[in-house]
Chains A and B, each alone.
Chain A
Amino acid sequence: AQSVTQLDSHVSVSEGTPVLLRCNYSSSYSPSLFWYVQHPNKGLQLLLKYTSAATLVKGINGFEAEFKKSETSFHLTKPSAHMSDAAEYFCVVSDRNQAGTALIFGKGTTLSVSS
């Protein structure tokens, strides 16, 4: 069974400084991995996804993530935080070899950005 662990429940950064949100996964097969962002009382927006192509994935709003199989990690980074980045971030795993399998969500990391 697949699972995902977000190592930090809350991350606080200052505007203009780098962002690192950590995620480790467990999957029996070749995983697809995603990062979603959720602003308060809103739905989910896909930031980026890894589906077996390049291990360094670039997403929207300057975010990127690197798939490291040896470390079973898929950490999300951004060089310079904006105030608008403050939100809840979810690391998500899906088993690509089982059609119809739902996405499994991590517990989420709350990102706070101060001026």
Chain B
Amino acid sequence: GAVVSQHPSRVICKSGTSVKIECRSLDFQATTMFWYRQFPKQSLMLMATSNEGSKATYEQGVEKDKFLINHASLTLSTLTVTSAHPEDSSFYICSARVAGGANTGELFFGEGSRLTVL
């Protein structure tokens, strides 16, 4: 199946710094990528939908100035957590849909990135 790679898998940073997480589709093109956040022992909550070449669409309650999303190419989307604070500590997971494929709704998920803000 299609492979989605996230980097870094784990990052620890000081409060007030910014952290960038990359999401790459390795063997397919993805016009749409999705960013999810998962708190410990909870489900995945959709943060935003990232469309190649256009602005991301954020879910209600997600601060777009806090979580900057860029989808500059058909294989790369980035999430930047700006001025991170301890409450931003979480597991962030990206997913992608194959561009031009049958719209079965299936997404392919990255391995996730665990952010810890001290």
Describe B's contact surface by its main secondary structure: strand
Q: Would you call B19 an interface residue if the criterion is a C-beta within 8 Å of the partner chain's C-beta atoms?
A: no
Q: How far is the CA of A51 from the CA of B105 in the complex (A)?
A: 8
Query: Is A34 close to B, CB under 8 A?
Result: yes
A interface, how many residues as a size bin?
Answer: 20 to 34
Asked if A105 and B32 sit within 8 Å, CB to CB, the answer is no
Chain B residue contacts of A95, Cβ below 8 A: 105
For the complex, give the distance between the alpha carbons of A28 and B93 in Å. 27
Q: Mark B90-118, 1 if CB is under 8 A from A, else 0.
A: 01010101000001111101111010000
Chain B residues with a Cβ under 8 A of chain A: 1, 6, 32, 34, 36, 41-46, 49, 51, 91, 93, 95, 97, 103-107, 109-112, 114
Nearest 7 interchain pairs by C-beta: A94-B105, A32-B105, A43-B111, A44-B109, A51-B104, A105-B44, A102-B34
